[in-house]
A = this chain, B = another copy of it.
Amino acid sequence: MQAPLSRLCVHTITTKPLALPAAIAGYQGIGASGITVWRDALLPLGLAESKKHLAGSGLSVVSLCRGGFFSAVTEVDRQKALDDNRRAIDEAAAIGAPLVVLVCGAVPKMPLAEGRKQIADAIAALVPHAAGAGVKLGIEPLHPMYADSRSAVNTLGQANDIVAELASPQVGVTIDVFHVWWDERLETEIARSGRLNAIFSFHVCDWRSPTRDMLNDRGVMGEGCIPLRQIRGWVEQAGFNGMIEVEIFSNELWQTDQSDFLRKIRSAYLEHV
């Protein structure tokens, strides 16, 4: 039997007020097993020092968040985005993260199909660099409410389409329940991701009613309406047995005591996921 917290991972953005060493200590303190590092969390200490903290922590480094934002009106800007993503891949390799999660980008008024084409082209262009660095790329479909400016990939089906088209072992999907829970095709597409051997990571949180802010009002698991156990079941049925990553953006929760918040995450994970 698995230890109950052997698959619990926390994202540094979840405890945004904490610097990396404090985040590490906090996650150790609740018995978590993994950490996903957001790029901003690496800035204060730099890569080498951050890596030392991570390597000595006993926590698995699950992924680096985030690359992406590929689509752009000009070729120059698309190249800049590729350069930045190559840096993200290098940072992931430097801290021992096997995966970069991709929030793929969208440009208001650019047709979404054109955006997805640019995204697929960009990811294809990154594959050699990612393979060389031993880092995988996880396409994270974003909720349709972010289709204007954050991602033209708004369903797991669209992410799977890109994975199937590129057919590279380097490219898969990141499934975040917040973005996909509403989709009637979710079970089917999770199964398809599984057949593609493409479920690279799995993020959990909850959808509050009402959601008071489009970006930063996610709930702790159990506070909302997402059928977490059901979706976890589908993901595991499709062959995924990796970390379960708690990624919560919340202006409200960031203002609370982060140790209390982490204890709440631990209980919610055990009770609701």
- Is A109's CB within 8 Å of the partner chain B? yes
- Is A22's CB within 8 Å of the partner chain B? no
CB–CB A182/B149 < 8 A: no
CB–CB A224/B144 < 8 A: no
0/1 interface trace, chain A 140-177, chain B, CB 8 Å (1 if under)? 00011101110000110010000000000000000000
Contact of A144 among B109, B112, B182 (CB under 8 A): B182
- Is A94's CB within 8 Å of the partner chain B? no
- Kindly name the residue among A109, A145, A212 whose own CB sees the greatest number of chain B CB atoms within 10 A: A145
Among the 9-residue stretches A4-12, A28-36, A203-211, the one with 4 or more Cβ atoms under 8 Å from chain B is A203-211
Whole-angstrom CA separation of A224 from B106 in the bound complex: 13
> Could you pull out 13 A-B pairs where Cβ atoms are within 8 angstroms?
A108-B225, A109-B225, A113-B184, A143-B145, A144-B144, A144-B182, A144-B183, A145-B145, A148-B209, A148-B211, A149-B210, A158-B184, A211-B214
